[in-house]
Every structure is written in C-alpha cells, then in structure tokens.
C-alpha cells in the first residue's frame, strides 16, 4: 500500500493515536493542535504550507463549533483538488453543508465515523465512510492503515453524510448495550443471590450470547474497582445518542431501548427528581400515600384522611 502524506488537525485521545498509527505504517503525518505541546506546526496555515498538493487534511477535533471553525479555515487555506476528511463525531446533517462549502472551491469532502477509542492505536479503528467514490479511492491507503487487520472494520457506507449516520447509529446501539449491562450489574449487586458478581461477568466472556468487547471492558473496570465505589453514578453524553433518537423521531422509527438508555444518562445528572416529587405529591393527594420528606423521613400527608406508610408489595 502506497505511503501518503496527510495533515492531522486535533491530536488528542483520538487524533494523536491515529497520527501515530499512520506514522508506524509509513505515512508522512504533519500534526496540528491548538495545544502547542502536541503540535508539529504553530498554525493551521503552516500545516497547509507543509503539505504538498493535492493535500489530504483529516480533522479530528470536537464536533460542532470547533469542527465547523476548522473547516471554515481550511476552506480558505486549501486549494482545488485537496480533500478534507471529518473524522470526528459530527452530526450527519453538517456533512452536506461542509461538502457544499468546500465543493464550491473544488475541495473534496469525506465524512468518516471512527470507532475504537483509546484502544485504536493497537487494535485499529473501525471506519464508516461517506463520500464520492473518487475521493474515497484516493484515501484508501490511509483507511487501510487505520483500520483493524482483516476483512472487517471498514465500510464505504454511501454518499456524504452516510459515514456519520452509520457512526451515529453505532453509538446509539452502544448506549443500549451499555445500559443493559449496567442494569444487569445493578440487579446482581442489589441481591445476595449471586455471591461472585464479577465472576459471573467473567464467566460470560466465553461461549455466551452476550460475549463482547464491552463485556470485556466491564470485567476490566470491575478488576480495577470491584464495586465501582470510586465512581459517582453520573454519565455525560456528547451528542450521538440524542441525534439517534432525534433521527428515529424524524423517521417514526421506534427505538425504546436506545431512548431509555439516553434518558437514564439524563436522570443520572439529577441530585433529585422533580418529576418523582410530583408523582409522590400526587399519590399523597389522591391516596393519602406516604411521602419521603427532604429530611429523609416518611411523613403522612397533612390533609389526607388516613394517610400512612405504603405496605410492602407482594410480588407473587
Ligand atoms: N474518544 C473517543 O472514544 C472517540 C472520539 N471521537 C471523536 O473524535 C473527535 C476527537 O475526540 P478526542 O480525541 O476524544 O477529543 P480530545 O479532547 O482528546 O482531543 C481533541 C483535540 O483537539 C484539539 N482542538 C480542539 N479544537 C481545536 C482547533 N480548533 N484546532 C486545533 N486543535 C483543536 C484539542 O486541543 C485536543 O487536543 C471528537 O469529534 C470525538 O467526538 C470519535 C470516536 C471515539
Ligand atoms: O464515539 C465514541 C465511542 O464509540 C466516543 O467515545 C463517544 O464520545 C461516545 O459517546 P458519548 O460521549 O455520548 O457516550
């Protein structure tokens, strides 16, 4: 596979390792990051000057405003025949705008959904590519070096936007799988029935229907902190999950599992649940059911006749 020259913008957890994987494969990589400590050049303009035309520049910065600003700058600095690759987790609807903006100057655009996280340097990166066949063909030596060894780990998913749409759905699935593992773990931990919870997860790594890399990573996390006591039950999201749900609404496709997983993250960020306060207040209003006060005590409803503590639920 022919060695190429490529500019990499954004040398963080992803771009830094991707640049290193490309260098190990023999490519000439010039990296630019706004953080001078990790950058090979002092500005985006210097990066462009260091590259020989026709240039390839891979953008690997946070999605949204940083990616848009970088593509605006590249549109000014690059020349006809060059190609810009957006490998960040950008919204798929941004891709058409970027392709049109760059295309007006005869600069090509390819969107790539990248998966592999901080393990990609050693394992390779799965790539989901959107763009026209000529541009994608020119980039194949780069893709071949980034992807994992073997047949899988690469798809030319369609025209511009298809790469990021595929990655968005991938991440939606990621939300659902993680949530299912997390809920299973909570149930096992909440009961005394299985006495070796980490052992149960370990045993599932081989031969089971649910063996997977996420399961391997779950086992690794429990090895490091067996009951996750060092963590708070708080999970951020960076956009892909909500965009998956938004796309599902736009196309009237039911995604109950992925949607629930997204909402579970929102719930994790609440110290208390305003909605559940209202549910408690309404139960108290109509049924005189006990509520938990902010002091943590169960109290009777002030005006409800005969309000008392809810009896235990008999599940059988
Ligand atoms: N971390 C992950 O597991 C994955 C991340 N991604 C996506 O890859 C992109 C990069 O993510 P990470 O490397 O994890 O983030 P990061 O925060 O580790 O790195 C981002 C880098 O971009 C630099 N940067 C930000 N704005 C810049 C600008 N205008 N010009 C030059 N450099 C700039 C920052 O200084 C930083 O070094 C994001 O779009 C992210 O959503 C995609 C797949 C997996
Ligand atoms: O793309 C990824 C993994 O495939 C990134 O790690 C992404 O940040 C995960 O999404 P979120 O931050 O919403 O959990």
pLDDT tens digit sequence for 26-76: 999 999 999 999 999 999 999 999 999 999 999 999 999 999 999 999 999
Distance of CA 171 from the midpoint of ligand 2 (Å): 7
User: Looking at domain 5-160, what is its CATH homologous superfamily?
Assistant: NAD(P)-binding Rossmann-like Domain (3.40.50.720)
pLDDT at residue 295 in the model: 80
For the chain, the structural domain boundaries read: 5-160, 167-268, 272-316
**Quick one: average pLDDT of 273-290?**
97
Q: To 10 degrees, what angle do helices 92-103 and 65-77 make?
A: 10
Residues annotated as catalytic are 167, 174
Q: Does ligand 1 lie within 6 Å of residue 78's CB atom?
A: no
Q: 227: which residues sit within 8 A by CB, 6+ positions away?
A: 189
Could you read off the pLDDT of 188-243 as tens digits, one per residue?
A: 999 999 999 999 999 999 999 999 999 999 999 999 999 999 999 999 999 999 99
The ligand placed nearest to the CA atom of residue 238 is 2
The structure tokens 């891709």 sit at: 95
Considering the domain 167-268 in this protein, what is its CATH number? Answer: 1.10.1040.10
Can you tell me the distance from the alpha carbon of 1 to that of 313, in angstroms, rounded to the nearest whole number? Answer: 66
Mutate to test the pocket of ligand 2, among 174, 179, 241, 244 (most ligand atoms within 8 A of CB): 174
- pLDDT at position 138 over 90: yes
The structure tokens 């941004």 sit at: 94
**Quick one: average pLDDT of 172-187?**
98
Distance of CA 63 from the midpoint of ligand 2 (Å): 11
Task: Give the number of the atom of ligand 2 that is nearest the alpha carbon of residue 175.
Answer: 14
Query: What's the pLDDT band for 112 if we cut at 50, 70, 90?
Result: very high
pLDDT at residue 315 in the model: 64
Identical fold for domains 5-160 and 167-268, yes or no, is: no
ipTM over 0.90: yes
Q: Does ligand 1 lie within 6 Å of residue 59's CB atom?
A: no
For residue 284, give the H/E element and its range. Answer: helix 274-287
Could you read off the pLDDT of 85-106 as tens digits, one per residue?
A: 999 999 999 999 999 999 999 9
């Amino acid at each position: 596979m022919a060695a190429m020259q490529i500019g990499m913008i954004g040398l963080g957890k992803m771009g830094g390792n991707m640049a290193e994987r490309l260098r190990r494969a023999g490519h000439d990589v010039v990296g630019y990051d706004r953080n001078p400590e990790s950058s090979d050049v002092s500005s985006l303009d210097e990066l462009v000057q260091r590259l020989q035309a026709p240039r390839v520049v891979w953008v690997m910065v946070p999605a949204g405003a940083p990616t848009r600003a970088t593509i605006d700058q590249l549109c000014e600095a690059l020349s006809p025949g060059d190609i810009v690759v957006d490998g960040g987790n950008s919204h798929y609807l941004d891709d058409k705008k970027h392709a049109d903006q760059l295309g007006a100057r005869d600069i090509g655009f390819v969107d790539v959904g990248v998966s592999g996280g901080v393990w990609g340097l050693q394992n390779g990166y799965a790539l989901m590519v959107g763009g026209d066949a000529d541009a994608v063909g020119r980039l194949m030596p780069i893709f071949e070096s980034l992807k994992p060894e073997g047949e899988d780990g690469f798809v030319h998913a369609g025209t511009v936007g298809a790469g990021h749409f595929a990655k968005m759905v991938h991440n939606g699935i990621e939300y659902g799988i993680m949530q299912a593992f997390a809920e299973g773990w909570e149930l096992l931990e909440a009961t005394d029935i299985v006495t070796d919870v980490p052992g149960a997860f370990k045993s599932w790594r081989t031969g089971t229907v649910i063996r997977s890399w996420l399961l391997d990573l779950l086992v690794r996390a429990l090895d490091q902190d067996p009951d996750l006591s060092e963590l708070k039950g708080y999970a951020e999201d960076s956009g892909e999950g909500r965009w998956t749900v938004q796309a599902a609404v736009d196309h009237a496709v039911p995604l109950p599992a992925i949607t629930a997983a997204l909402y579970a993250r929102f719930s994790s960020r609440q110290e208390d649940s305003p909605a559940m306060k209202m549910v408690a207040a309404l139960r108290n209003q109509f049924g005189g059911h006990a509520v938990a006060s902010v002091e943590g005590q169960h109290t009777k409803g002030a005006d409800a006749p005969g309000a008392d503590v809810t009896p235990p639920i008999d599940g059988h």
